[in-house]
Chain A
């Protein structure tokens, strides 16, 4: 249990160091980050958010209570929010999208897939996969995928 809690704890400490370290000269090094690095960053952000939310009962409760149409709306909302946070909303650290459709295909869609993959992994980690049908598990992954997607998007802005 300590080892599990240490993962988001360690990532939080890393984030705090990055955000609160003051105006050091190495802040702009993301400009040299590779595409793989950007994907890794999104995975880390998704993992950070998903690990904090997955242990709560609310995730599976929402998934059980939600209809498939709710899940459908959640997929659309997650993908749209990811794209808006990184490319459109004008937050500090916003990415420049040379072509909105290309940015959507190259970053937002892979980012959402990563968020869903991380969600599935975290649900497995907390024993919330066993005994579920494919559609039930998909719905739970989509529910946890929402905070994971926001985490993936936020990681690209914050780090």
Chain B
């Protein structure tokens, strides 16, 4: 009786059609991943280009919370992204761990008054 410690076991009974379909599917997925990565490699270098805007405001028991969406139009990821929102004489800040290249992330700023007209900006970031 064969044991699992026996090297060079017999491979499972073949199922030609399913094996061919799975081989094609496997090749397709692997080639798709390769194609996306090669396409990305061919793009010119683009450092992070960050912009922030308020996409929502919610009144809570702790004050008004503005949802800020930060978009990164560059290819490189930005880390430790500092966001500042100014409404009258009140300033609120938040830090995002990462904003991925050509991606976006959300942060939340708290204000005493309705921050719909608050000015939000990205103050700085670092490389991951």
Contact = CB atoms under 8 A, between A and B. Distances in A.
Contacts of A81: none
B128 interface: yes
A136 B102 contact: yes
Interface string B88-117: 000000000011111111100000000000
B22 A39 contact: yes
A17 interface: no
Interface string A23-56: 1010110110111111100000000000000000
Contacts of B62: none
A71 B36 CA distance: 10
Q: Secondary structure of the A side of the interface?
A: helix
Nearest to A61: B128
Interface string A92-125: 1111111000010110111111101100000000
Interface residues of B, number: 45
B127 to A, nearest CB: 8
A72 B41 contact: yes
Interface residues of A, number: 54
Contact of B100 (A33, A36, A95, A132): A132
Interface string A64-92: 11011101100100010000000000101
Contacts of A72: 34, 37-38, 41
Contact of A109 (B3, B6, B27, B99): B27
B7 A94 contact: yes
Interface string B11-48: 11111001100110111111001101111110000000
B15 A35 contact: yes
Given A93-B7, A96-B10, 13 more contacts: A23-B3, A39-B22, A65-B128, A68-B37, A75-B37, A79-B30, A93-B9, A97-B11, A105-B27, A110-B23, A113-B25, A131-B100, A135-B102
Interface of A: 23, 25, 27-28, 30-31, 33-39, 60-61, 64-65, 67-69, 71-72, 75, 79, 90, 92-98, 103, 105-106, 108-114, 116-117, 131-136, 138-139, 141-142
26 contacts: A23-B3, A25-B1, A30-B9, A31-B2, A31-B9, A34-B13, A60-B98, A64-B79, A69-B41, A71-B37, A75-B34, A93-B9, A95-B8, A95-B11, A109-B26, A109-B27, A110-B23, A110-B25, A112-B29, A133-B101, A136-B77, A136-B101, A136-B103, A139-B37, A142-B33, A142-B37
